[in-house]
Amino acid sequence: MVDFNVVLAGLTDAFQLTNLLFVLAGVVLGQFVGAVPGIGPVMAMAIAIPFTFVLDPLPAIGFLVGVNKGGLVGGAVPAVLINTPGTPDAAATALDGHPLAKQGKPVKATKMALYASVTGDTFSDLVLVTVSAPLAIVALKMGPVEVFALMIFAFSIIAGLVGNSLSKGIIAAALGLLCATVGLDPEHSTPRLYFGWFELYDGLPLASVAIGMLAISEILRRLASTNGGMKSAIEIPVAQNPEDMRVRWVEYWSCRYTMLRGAVIGTILGALPGIGSTAAAFMSYASAKQTSDDPQSFGKGNLHGIAAAESANSAVVGANLIPLLTLGIPGSVGAALIISAFMIHGIQPGPLLFEQQGRLVYGLFGAMIMANFINLFVGQVGLRFWILVVRAPESVIFSSALLLCIVGVSMATGGLFGVSVMLIFAGVGYLMTAFGYSVVIFIIAFFLGPRFEISLSQTLVLLDGDVAALVNYPIAIVLLLLAIVATWWLGFRAAARQANKQPA
């Protein structure tokens, strides 16, 4: 156990002015790059890492964590305001955030996103600070078989988002899985569907597909519907009702269970490497919708929808550090970047970290908590700025967003190849939306596809292809049963609701 003196010394370090300033700088940068479509916090962290070499470890890592946390808050801004999520995990936020913004309440929508994000993040940070070591040991017990079962469970929950047409939902999911199989197969490294393009060996670039389908296709749709007149990207009533400019405490408090559930989902998925914040956001959103008394109001600007998505995707970030700090295992690309920052400072995350670098670790914890508060304050100022920005004429906003997406993706994927892929998927996304196929289902299937496939292959090897061998994996059995229950329950409830509606 770490000595209490060390804990105090670490927390004191976090409050040193230089360290606080670096965290502040990180959060500001993170919120900015998160809000600008196409760049994102991961890219910013990758560029910043070599520069942190000259810093001490705590300001360096505090800065990077600030970028990561700020990015998640910033990512919700374009999703809510112009329906173009800069990062795929913000796509869930757009589902209810944008409709609310369109009703003339952009300030309220972005504020709710900010509060939910900070709430979820703080929750997972507290879990990290208090019980990371035992939690990491539990997470270790979640092997490939359990992760496979967990993914089936996640799919069964997210299926609640399919919408009106089951067959269209299945087609969208199948297309997403098909696109996820491009590249080397995870078992024997045989290239699949690459048509001689070596750029596709590692699969379709995630950033290209996500930004193409989510952001560019929306921009295309908006550009197609313009009629030459000058109007703002979002209409904000001049004399706005002050009630619509803020989130009242009652409204925030009414979302407490939604946010708590989102934070728990985010923390669990974050502690398990490799599943990610996009799945967490959608799982939380889907379960909020399913358990709501009024599921019809989701997708039309329900505050609970925003709260569910943002609390979950932000909770993933803190929880990602649980396997990272205790075991040296990164749970996401962002966490992998933080590991490389640790390593260039000569610090090896893993079992010895708390003993050898206790002061640094608690300094980092202090910095993370401070980053959440800073996020809150910077966010309050920042969202006013962004709302001013989107008051500019639509033609200006969307053409600059298009430019930024192209620049961002070409940076993230290393050239114009990624941009071409992005534009192709923008077309695919546009057509899918036009014909009523869910782009969101496609993206989830595409994101979870590779992990799903490799978990399946690992499971088959470990079970020797024998389903009966599952008896040795009780957690997996429970999860699979839950998946069946969820499917039945969701199906049953949906059917019951339909029946209720008919007489009315």
Partner 1 sequence: MKIGKLMTSLIAAAVILTFGAANAADWKPSGPVNLQIGFGAGGETDTLGRVIASVMKEQTGWDVIAENKPGGGGVAMFSGISKAPADGLVIGLGVNMPIMINLVLRGDKLPFDLDSFDYLATVARAQLAIIAKKDAPFDDIKGLVAHSKANGGTAVAFDAKPQELILRAIDKQESAGLKLVSTKSSAEMLQFVLGGQVMASFSAGTHIPYVEKGDLKVLASANDGRHNYAPDTLSLKEQGYNLFVDPYFYFAGPAGLPDDAKAALVAALDSAIASEKVKTVVANALATEVDNLGSDGTKKMLVDGIGGVKVLFGK
Residue ranges in 414-467 assigned as alpha helix (H): 416-434, 439-463
Least Å from the CB of residue 67 to partner 1:
13
3-state SS, residue 191: strand
Which of 236, 407 has the CB closer to partner 1? 407
Rounded to whole angstroms, the Cα distance separating 434 from 424 reads 15
Is 350 a binder of partner 1 (CB under 8 A)? yes
Residue ranges in 328-415 assigned as alpha helix (H): 333-344, 353-356, 358-389, 394-413
Contact call for residues 58 and 367 (beta carbons, < 8 A)? yes
Chosen residue from 352, 431, 478, 481 binding partner 1 by CB under 8 A? 352
Least Å from the CB of residue 442 to partner 1:
22
Chosen residue from 250, 464, 499, 503 binding partner 1 by CB under 8 A? 464
Least Å from the CB of residue 141 to partner 1:
6
Is 385 a binder of partner 1 (CB under 8 A)? no
Is 270 a binder of partner 1 (CB under 8 A)? no
Least Å from the CB of residue 181 to partner 1:
15
Least Å from the CB of residue 56 to partner 1:
15
Tell which positions 56-85 bind partner 1, by CB under 8 A: none
Contact call for residues 244 and 387 (beta carbons, < 8 A)? no
Tell which positions 387-446 bind partner 1, by CB under 8 A: 412-415, 417
Scanning 126-134, 143-151, 257-265, 280-288 for contacts with partner 1 by CB under 8 A, the matching segment is: 143-151
The count of other CB atoms within 10 Å of the CB of residue 388 is: 9
Structure tokens at 141: 């017990």
Residues 6+ apart with CB under 8 A from 457: 186, 187
Is 466 a binder of partner 1 (CB under 8 A)? no
3-state SS, residue 184: strand
Which of 200, 308 has the CB closer to partner 1? 200
Residue type, 28: V
Scanning 235-243, 304-312, 333-341, 368-376 for contacts with partner 1 by CB under 8 A, the matching segment is: 333-341
Provide the residue count of the chain.
504
Chosen residue from 14, 101, 128, 142 binding partner 1 by CB under 8 A? 142
**How many chain residues interact with partner 1 (CB under 8 A)?**
56
Chosen residue from 273, 382, 408, 449 binding partner 1 by CB under 8 A? 273
Burial class of 340 by CB neighbour count within 10 A (0 to 12, 13 to 18, 19+): middle
Chosen residue from 3, 5, 50, 254 binding partner 1 by CB under 8 A? 50
Chosen residue from 72, 329, 361, 368 binding partner 1 by CB under 8 A? 329
3-state SS, residue 390: coil
Q: Cα dihedral sign for 190, 196, 202, 203?
A: negative
Is 327 a binder of partner 1 (CB under 8 A)? yes
Rounded to whole angstroms, the Cα distance separating 257 from 274 reads 26
The count of other CB atoms within 10 Å of the CB of residue 239 is: 5
Beta bridge pairs of residue 232: 393
Q: What is the DSSP letter of 194?
A: -
Chosen residue from 348, 380, 399, 472 binding partner 1 by CB under 8 A? 348
Chosen residue from 16, 56, 104, 143 binding partner 1 by CB under 8 A? 143
Is 140 a binder of partner 1 (CB under 8 A)? yes
Is 196 a binder of partner 1 (CB under 8 A)? yes
Tell which positions 353-372 bind partner 1, by CB under 8 A: none
Residues 6+ apart with CB under 8 A from 45: 64, 67, 68, 334, 337, 338
Which of 47, 381 has the CB closer to partner 1? 47
Per-residue three-class SS string for 70-104 = HHHHHHHHHHHHHCCCCCHHHHHHHHHHHHHHHCC
Per-residue contact track with partner 1, 204 to 233, x per CB under 8 A?
-x----------------------------
Is 182 a binder of partner 1 (CB under 8 A)? no
What is the per-residue DSSP string for 198-236? Answer: GGGTT-S-HHHHHHIIIIIHHHHHHHHT--S---BSS--
List of residues contacting partner 1 (CB under 8 A)? 42-43, 45-47, 49-50, 53, 140-145, 186-189, 196, 198-202, 205, 273-274, 323, 327-330, 333, 336-337, 340, 343-348, 350-352, 412-415, 417, 454, 457-458, 461-462, 464
